[in-house]
Each structure stands twice: as structure tokens, then as C-alpha cells.
Amino acid sequence: MTFHLFGNILTSYGTAANNRGENEGNITTLQKIQWKNDIHTTVSAEAIRWALRYFWQTVCDDYEVNRQWNDGTNNNDFQDETYNDELFIDDDVLGFMRAEAAKDDGSDTPKKGKNKSKEKGISIAKRGVLEVTRAVSTTPYLGDITFNAKSGKKDKTSLYGTEVHATSYQYGFALTPSRLKEKSRIIPVLDGLTSLREVGGNHSRFLYDFSPESIVLRWTHDFAPRILYSFKEDEEGNISVPELLRRIEDEDINPKELWVAGEIATNDDGKKLQEYGANVTGGIKKLVKNLKQTIAFDLELPQKELV
């Protein structure tokens, strides 16, 4: 049977601002969505994927990255514009698309019959194996804005504002290693998603720690995740997972497939998960190390992949 890795990640608490670099007037804005009848801020899946690729580029020396970020030009430098999912980890895990228009669209060629066909363009694409949800704030956005000033030309002062949101974010991911050209690449995916930093992408001017404060992983044969957006934060800032516990009690999820770590492991819900049979560990790095050993055994990966 096919294995699937699903995850739900709760980031550290921090002040999010300027995730896109876009603005309305002189106000730098955060992305927002309607979520459970309130306005919440959100970070795109594209920004998370960008940060994962940047992690591989800067930390994982054993893996080749095709699209490498150039801080000098604020753009990607391609190692191979024709793509290669066997050589490059980002082409394999995140997918790619290259579209080229036809060199001759036939507009300058006289038609000599109804069956005359014009040259078609070329499209090379691979759907990403790693699927990532949008990150959604655990608390509603109340409209906080900071106002600032900076000196301009001829002693003029420019006033501007920045939307800020003190919150944590949660997002989910899914990966089926058998769909990868090299299934061992599931290991650096786990390493990256548990060590993200600059998720704001190239526009970010503010440090926001996107590494997990709490994490729920599921290593399973089940085709559906069933754990996405399972964290809940109350008015006092306490984190719980009531929906996850309900699904376990309803036997929709086998608790032995769950790997839980971080702050959630130390509270009452974490203790319940451990009683149900989930793999619960306080430290996130320790939990990921243990899960990688299980994944390597199940997928028959070389032990060197765990270094």
C-alpha cells in the first residue's frame, strides 16, 4: 500500500507584517480572508514554498536546487531552464512549468485550404508533489496599524503605515513519496518545513519565525489528511485540538499514525493524544528525527538519508 505524509503546523507567536510588499495608499497591507465569520490574516502557499526552496538552497548541501534566489538581483537564477526533476530537488518536489509560444503562428502565411494547421506552442509541466495550504492566523485581525516616518528629498518627510498582526499561523501539507523521482527527498522536505524562517519571500522586511511551535504529523496509508487546521486558540491564548480528538474518538483516524510535538504535547489535549496511542514528544526536532527513522524503514531508504 502507498504511504502518505500529512502535516498540520502551528507557527511560533510573533508580529506579522509586510508579507507581500503591497500597499493601499501609504499603508502596507497584509493579506486577509474571511475565516469562520471573522477577518483573519493569511500567508500564501507560494510564500511557504519559496521559503522551503530557499532553505534547500542555503542549508541542504547534498541537494541540487534549480531555481536559486539571487539576493543581488531579487530574482531567481535557473541552473537549467529546461528543468530536470531527477537532478534538482525543487523540480521534483515543487513541480515546474515552461510554456513557449509557437515560433510561427501562421499569421503571415496564406491559407491554402481548410485543413491548413498552424504551428503550436510548447508546454512542459509537472505538477508539484508537495501540496501546501494557505497559512491562516489563529486569531482574528483587529486592524492594528503602526505609523512611521522617513526622510525624503529636500528635507521632506514621508509618512506611512504598516498593518501588523500579533498572532500564530497554522497551515497544512501533504506529500506522497512514491510520486517523487527520488522518494528519499521526503527527508529534506520534513527538515525544511520544520525549520522555515523567511516565509515573507523577497518582499519581507520583518522577521517572523515560521518554525513550528506545535506540530501534528500523520504517516499513513489513508488517502485523506483529516488533520488540517486542527489547532484552535481560545481568548487566553491556550492551544487545543478538539476536532482532532473527535476524529480519533470517531475512529476516523488511527492515533498510532499521529506524531505530535511542541507546546501541544504538554497540555491536556497532548496527554489525551498520548493516552490514545499517538507518538507524543516534547521536542519537535526529536520527534522529526524519530519519524524520519520510521519513514526510512517503511520506504527502505539508506540510513545515510537520516544524517
Indicate if the pLDDT at residue 303 is higher than 80: no
Q: What is the dihedral of CA 297, 301, 302, 303, to 10 degrees?
A: -40
Q: pLDDT, tens digit, for every residue of 262-282? A: 999 999 999 999 999 999 999
Per-residue pLDDT band at 28 (split at 50, 70, 90) = confident
Euclidean distance between CA atoms 245 and 247, whole angstroms: 5
Q: pLDDT, tens digit, for every residue of 147-189? A: 877 766 666 777 778 899 999 999 999 999 999 999 999 999 9
Nearest to 92 by CA among 171, 177, 173, 172: 177
What number is the average pLDDT over the span 103-119? 57
For the four alpha carbons of 293, 288, 240 and 268, in that order, the dihedral sign comes to positive
pLDDT at 121: 62
Judge residue 295's burial from the number of C-beta atoms within 10 Å of its C-beta, 0-12 exposed, 13-18 middle, 19 or more buried: buried
Per-residue pLDDT band at 124 (split at 50, 70, 90) = confident
pLDDT at 269: 97
What number is the average pLDDT over the span 28-44? 93
**Is pTM, for the whole model, over 0.75?**
yes
Indicate if the pLDDT at residue 123 is higher than 80: no
Domain ranges of the chain: 11-16+31-99+124-138+167-210, 212-302
For the four alpha carbons of 231, 232, 238 and 240, in that order, the dihedral sign comes to negative
Euclidean distance between CA atoms 273 and 244, whole angstroms: 9
Q: Which residue has the higher pLDDT, 149 or 108?
A: 149
